[in-house]
Amino acid sequence: MIASRDNKWLKTFRAALRGSGPRDGDPIGVEGPKLVEEALRSGLEAEALLVSEAGERDAARILRAAGDSETGVPRSRVLRTTDKLFEGVAGTNAPQGVAALFRQRAWGLDDVLRGAGAMRESSPLVVVLAGVQDPGNVGTILRSAEAFGATGVVAVRGTADPWSPKALRASAGSALRLPVLRGMAIPILLAQLRIAGVKIYAASSARGDESDAAGISGQADLREPSAIFIGSEGSGVPMEVERAADATISIPTRDAVESLNAGVAASIVLYEAARQRKQVTGGAA
């Protein structure tokens, strides 16, 4: 039972649950019983589980999930504390009394191209976040990426961390299951995608009749190995990506709407990719 706010474990939890994302080697902080259970079922290795008085009602279920997983939670790392001390480390306004620290997975570009689990046999469909700064949008994009069959996600430098607490919550656990690469430099990523034979698409805010961008359901063939670059909410895709892209993709909108937010735009493009790929495999259009 941890009774001091100066306890080293509470300090570690506070940094993980209130920070902007873990550095290399630091644990991923996950808060809330549902998200902790998702992380355990996804196979992440738990370093510690923290439960307050309010979280005891969920602890038994979470420990069962840990027992069913390959890695589990070391019994010596099941920590308990008071609701008041838990509130002092939590990253949410209404904490539920359960949080955990997990080891980062060591994903590589091959994992992002091949996918994980059921997606491993799919043609590469990579989402590249190029300067998306709102962690809520980052989480939304990862959730849509998993829902619509992306094989992985790359967050280049200048993008909000997909493993930050807010992005994790917005992703509803997708950030813990999808292969994710963080902090890559754009020139290195572009070169590696070229070597792998992946076609590069830049999502553009320009309407189809205002540029040479391919309409989302027009000339953009997303059935082939593809990397879709989503730019920042304010300035869009970086110029070096636009210059290197094989094609740009635009989403038709009404004139009164200046642009769509990054999470919405990525979700629409990913839905179109899923629609086209179902046609290839014989699914419904």
Question: What average pLDDT does range 175-183 have in this prediction?
Answer: 96
Q: For 243-266, what is each residue's pLDDT tens digit?
A: 999 999 988 777 777 778 899 999
Question: What average pLDDT does range 151-165 have in this prediction?
Answer: 97
Of residues 202 and 64, the one with the higher pLDDT is 202
Does residue 283 carry a pLDDT above 60? no
The percent of the chain in helix, strand and coil, each rounded to the nearest 5, is 40, 20, 40
Does residue 136 carry a pLDDT above 60? yes
pTM: 0.89
pLDDT for 68 equals: 65
DSSP summary character for residue 153: E
**Beta-sheet strand order (sheet of 125-130):** 180-184, 152-156, 125-130, 226-231, 199-204, 247-250, 214-215
- Closest to 153 in 3D by CA, of 166, 136, 140, 134: 140
Please state whether beta strands 28-31 and 98-102 pair in parallel, antiparallel, or not at all (unpaired): antiparallel
Does residue 174 carry a pLDDT above 80? yes
163 is written with which tokens? 């493993």
Q: How far apart are the first and last CA of the chain?
A: 56
User: In 3-state terms, what secondary structure has residue 171?
Assistant: helix
For residue 115, the one-letter residue type is: G
CATH code: domain 8-102 is 3.30.1330.30
Of residues 99 and 63, the one with the higher pLDDT is 99
Q: For 19-46, what is each residue's pLDDT tens digit?
A: 999 999 999 999 999 999 999 888 899 9
Number of helices (H) and strands (E), helices first, in the chain?
Answer: 11, 11
Of residues 283 and 272, the one with the higher pLDDT is 272
Distance CA 112, CA 91 (A): 29
Domain boundaries, the chain: 8-102, 109-281
DSSP summary character for residue 104: P
Q: For 208-257, what is each residue's pLDDT tens digit?
A: 444 444 455 456 889 999 999 999 878 889 999 999 999 999 887 777 77
Using the CB atoms, write b or e for 235-262: b if 16+ within 10 Å.
ebbbeebeebbebbbbbeeeeeeebbeb
CATH code: domain 109-281 is 3.40.1280.10
**Considering the chain, what is the average pLDDT of its residues?**
89
